[in-house]
A and B are shown apart, each in its own frame.
Chain A
Amino acid sequence: MTHEVIKHLLDDYVTGDLTEEARPPVEEHVIACALCAAEVESLRRILARAAELPKSIDPPADAWSNIRSAISRDEAAVRASSSVSRPSIWQRRYVLAAAAAVLVAVLSSAGTALYMSGHYSGARSNQAIANSSSAEGTPATLAAFTIEENNYLRTASMLQDLLDQQEASLAPATVAQLKASLRTIDEAILEARSALARDPANKLLLEMLSASYRQKVDLLRRTTELTRGT
């Protein structure tokens, strides 16, 4: 390859992008050609300086407050554009935020259980589930799980409450299916819970229970979101 050709390959040579075949002749030429060698060195210096540039630079202090204001204005605009007479079908984020605010409040007050009297059979079995826990000293994993379980129960109760308010917007058949699904999950939870009481060190059971609670909360959350505006 001639100098005229190779000088166009020096970038790729320096960054390691040349093919296996192209690299040796270019390398050979660079060794022999002072001009190309100087260019290679210069390129390497530039790239080294680029790599040394700080990847993080603190933004101005007031940037966040401007962003927060923009977010608040956007969301006020969305609320303003949705009138009472129009279905609130665009308010998914607010539904999510409402339910999630509940979730966050509950999860942040670990250890305080609040069992509401049932509107759904699921809520009554929440009480049964809580009562079935062993009263005796238990291994650390089960104790930690009991706190998480209380949080799930409280969250589920609060979401069920939200759903109660929207029950009228669901078809009776769907309400029946939903109640049946919640009963199914609760029965699974009770079975697993009883098994766990007999075998408290069984981590698989703890994971399965967590998964069932998660599915229950997820079903309630999804239904709450889907029925807003229907």
Chain B
Amino acid sequence: MKTSAVVSDTIGNYPSTSAEDKAAALERVRHAQTGDVDAFEVLYREHSPRIYALCLRLEGGDTSDATELLQDVFTKAWRRLDTFRGDCAFGSWLHRLTVNTMLENARSDQRRTARVLPMEDTSRLAGAARSSGVESRMDMEGAIASLPKGARLAFVLHDVEGYQHQEIAEQLSVSVGTVKAQLHRARRLLRERLES
């Protein structure tokens, strides 16, 4: 797996819990919605580390692909900013946009290159870190990156990001049963790769 520069180990600030936090967060978005790119940059600085972590894991640890996905997400967020109504936290909105963008990109990649990435395909692995002496967190990131795509999506969204089965099913346009099956598969593969 290509190494990623893990600078901040802080857990993300989702969700805002206090009313003042929520009001201030909404104000920052409203400011950006007036067309102020500098205000949008403030939002980028606030949310990009969380989104980048998600991009990295969704893209199997490939930093170049993750960076491109991050850039796609924020460019799209800028274009669609006036559709954000404040019904949910801005971070949650960005989070969903990230997953949608990743899926859209994957679909258009398939059309563009006429190459299908089957769920079973393990040839595009970013590399599974199984050698001893590798720090346990790096093993875990590498192991996640090595998962087949469907299993990786389900695991990252549910077990890392905390989405519910139903939410994942809706975003990926699959059934809850499929999500659970992919989760089960991901966990089994991770156990094999990390503990055997």
Contacts and interface: CB of A to CB of B under 8 A. Distances in A.
Nearest to B39: A104
Contact of A59 (B9, B48, B183): B48
A67 B74 contact: yes
Nearest to B53: A57
Interface in B47-66: 48-50, 52-53, 56, 63
B49 A46 contact: no
B172 interface: no
A94 interface: yes
Given A63-B71, A97-B34, A100-B34, A56 B194 contact: no
Contacts of B124: none
Contacts of B159: 46-47, 50-51
Nearest to B37: A71
Contact of A46 (B71, B79, B180, B190): B190
A16 interface: no
A177 B177 CA distance: 59
A100 B36 contact: yes
A32 B177 CA distance: 28
Interface residues of A, number: 37
Contacts of A100: 34-36
A67 B33 CA distance: 16
Interface residues of B, number: 51
Contacts of B184: 11
Interface string A67-101: 11011001000000000000000000110110111
Nearest to A17: B165
Contact of A70 (B34, B71, B82, B191): B71
A60 B63 contact: yes
B191 A56 contact: no
Nearest to A64: B44
Nearest to A50: B159
Count chain A CB atoms within 10 A of each CB in B6, B35, B70, B165 and give the residue with the most.
B35
B34 A56 contact: no
B44 A58 contact: no
Contacts, number: 122
Nearest to A42: B191
A53 B141 contact: yes
Given A46-B187, A104-B34, A57 B137 contact: no
A12 B179 CA distance: 13
B136 interface: yes
Contacts of A99: 34
Count chain B CB atoms within 10 A of each CB in A59, A60, A68 and give the residue with the most.
A59
Interface string B64-108: 000100110011001100100000000000000000000000000
A64 B41 contact: yes
A58 B7 contact: yes
B15 interface: no
Contacts of B160: 50-51, 53
Interface of B: 4-12, 31, 33-37, 40-41, 44-45, 48-50, 52-53, 56, 63, 67, 70-71, 74-75, 78-79, 82, 136-137, 140-141, 155, 159-161, 165, 180, 183-184, 187, 190-191, 194-195
Given A49-B194, A57-B4, 12 more contacts: A11-B187, A42-B191, A46-B159, A46-B191, A49-B140, A59-B49, A59-B70, A60-B67, A74-B75, A93-B82, A100-B35, A101-B35
Interface of A: 11-12, 17, 42-43, 45-47, 49-60, 63-64, 66-68, 70-71, 74, 93-94, 96-97, 99-101, 103-104
